[in-house]
Amino acid sequence: MFSYARAKDLGKQKIKRLIADMGGHRIRELPTAAVTLIEPGEGPRLNLMILGIRKEAVFGGADTALRFFRKMQPHYSRARILVLREDERDFDSAAWPGWELESRGGHGRQTIAFLRQPGFRPGVEPEDQFIATHWLTATYVRAIRDLQAAQGKGPQRPFIYLIQDFEPGFYPWSGRYLLASSSYANPHEVIAVFNTALLREYFQQSGYYFPASHVFEPSLNPALTAFRGQLAGHRKRRLLLVYGRPATPRNAFDLVVECLLVWSMQYGDAAQWEILSLGERHRDIPLAKGLVLRSGGKVSLEQYAGYLLDAAVGISLMVSPHPSYPPLEMAEFGIRVVTNGFANKDLSTRSPMINSLIDTTPKALAAALIESCDAFRDTPFVADMPSAFLGNDDEFPFLSGLAHDLLNS
């Protein structure tokens, strides 16, 4: 007989499943504005909203965002970094001399606030000005502005949106895709700053329009530039460098592995080469003929520079309209690099060291790698090449005008 106890037990199980389902159908990283609106301080303050500032997280786009912020700083009497995804346990004070933590009473000219810190709600003044660096940070800034508008707290200046990729492409077509693309809605509220003309052109072709926008071309990381001077006379070796980020779908690591399997089977001299993956730690992956794709994980800039000096051939894929830094960095260091085209992107026009393919089957990618390896065999020394980066020492030439417009808006 079906007992009451059995029915009660089934009812409890159903409730647990419903609760689990409800939890499973939430976008939990979607931020809400955990701030306190306060009275004006000592004039406008520049706020950088960023996902993280841990040393190992600051590379590529995050490093560019910090450079942009530091170049803006001299125009303001106060500056603050708002960190969205880390907490104070991740903070290394030695890496941030002269900066104070707001949660510990810091109210100097340079402060840092971790938005995930329990029980802490940083103050926001009416004249605070913001730089968003990711769609989640843009969403947070808009939540702050909505809160200000609801309480009539101060002017609604536009905020700077530093756009360094087409971020809806980080996801399948989904709710997150729609939320990321919604960060480009209401374009009159933002001043868009695009990382490369290629990316701005892609946005325009995709129907996104910003009435106020600027574009910059990044330059080679200054730490890497210091090592590039050693390239002349440095003897490269048969090292094939892979930009390997298995957890980041747009870097197509699975396709890279398929390509290397074909390359190791078809290339007669493959056994003479070492294959090293940098970016994210993963298990070593066996290839044909006893070869192994060895994982070096994430390395320091100094270690990375050493590998760039040594490597002869590289492969770095990026399913995005942004060029991404690794193929450009490899080309800067005389590496023959295989990458992919995407929409309006063709990095072959940047450097003769870059082979950008439209046909990205494993067979076609492997053939390009074989061609690059043979080219190194025939010409091991590469003459000095024009820079693959289009930026120069004045990376953000529009910056003074932008700061002036914001401060006087």
- Per-residue pLDDT reduced to its tens digit, 313-328: 999 999 999 999 999 9
Residues 133/139, Cβ–Cβ less than 8 Å = no
Residue 399 neighbours by CB distance under 10 Å = 18
Query: Which pLDDT score is estimated for 209?
Result: 92
Interval 26-33 mean pLDDT? 81
Same domain, 203 and 278: no
64 or 293, which is more confident: 293
Buried b (16+ CB within 10 A) or exposed e, 40-69: eeeebbbbbbbbebeeebbebbbbbbbbbb
Interval 251-259 mean pLDDT? 97
Give percent of the chain above pLDDT 90. 68
Residue 390 lies in a domain: no
Query: Which pLDDT score is estimated for 174?
Result: 93
Same domain, 166 and 182: yes
Q: What is the pTM of this model?
A: 0.88
Query: Please, what is the average pLDDT of the chain?
Result: 90
Interval 330-339 mean pLDDT? 96
Most confident of 60-69, 95-104, 242-251: 242-251
Same domain, 74 and 53: yes
Query: Which pLDDT score is estimated for 199?
Result: 97
Same domain, 213 and 310: no
Query: Which pLDDT score is estimated for 12?
Result: 61
Query: Which pLDDT score is estimated for 72?
Result: 95
Query: Which residues does residue 80 pair with via DSSP β-bridges, in sequence order?
Result: 47, 111
Interval 256-265 mean pLDDT? 98
Same domain, 237 and 356: yes
Query: Which residues does residue 193 pair with via DSSP β-bridges, in sequence order?
Result: 162, 214
Query: Which pLDDT score is estimated for 101?
Result: 92
Same domain, 86 and 187: yes
Instruction: Give the model confidence (pLDDT) of 74-128 as tens digits.
Output: 999 999 999 998 888 878 888 889 999 988 777 889 999 999 888 889 999 999 9
Same domain, 243 and 276: yes
Instruction: Give the model confidence (pLDDT) of 11-29 as tens digits.
Output: 666 655 555 555 568 887 7
User: Structural domain tally of the chain?
Assistant: 2
Instruction: Give the model confidence (pLDDT) of 115-161 as tens digits.
Output: 988 888 999 999 999 999 999 999 999 999 999 988 887 667 899 99
pLDDT band at 3 (very low <50, low <70, confident <90, very high): low
Nearest alpha carbon to residue 68 among 180, 199, 201, 163: 163
Same domain, 268 and 167: no
Same domain, 196 and 333: no
**Residues contacting residue 118 through CB under 8 Å, at least 6 positions apart:** none
User: Residue 307 sits in which domain range?
Assistant: 222-378
Nearest alpha carbon to residue 127 among 19, 42, 62: 42
Same domain, 192 and 325: no
Interval 360-374 mean pLDDT? 98
Strands 292-297 and 285-286: antiparallel
Query: Which pLDDT score is estimated for 1?
Result: 46
The Cα 19–Cα 12 span in angstroms is 11
Interval 210-214 mean pLDDT? 96
**Residues contacting residue 217 through CB under 8 Å, at least 6 positions apart:** 196, 197, 389, 390, 391, 395
Same domain, 209 and 230: no
Query: Which pLDDT score is estimated for 234?
Result: 87
Give percent of the chain above pLDDT 70. 92
pLDDT band at 30 (very low <50, low <70, confident <90, very high): confident
Residue 310 lies in a domain: yes
Query: Which pLDDT score is estimated for 272?
Result: 96
Query: What is the sign of the dihedral through the CA atoms of 318, 50, 171 and 202?
Result: negative
The Cα 369–Cα 336 span in angstroms is 9
What's the half-sphere exposure (Cβ side, CA atoms, 13 Å) at 30? 13
125: left (phi over 0), alpha (psi -120 to 50) or beta: beta
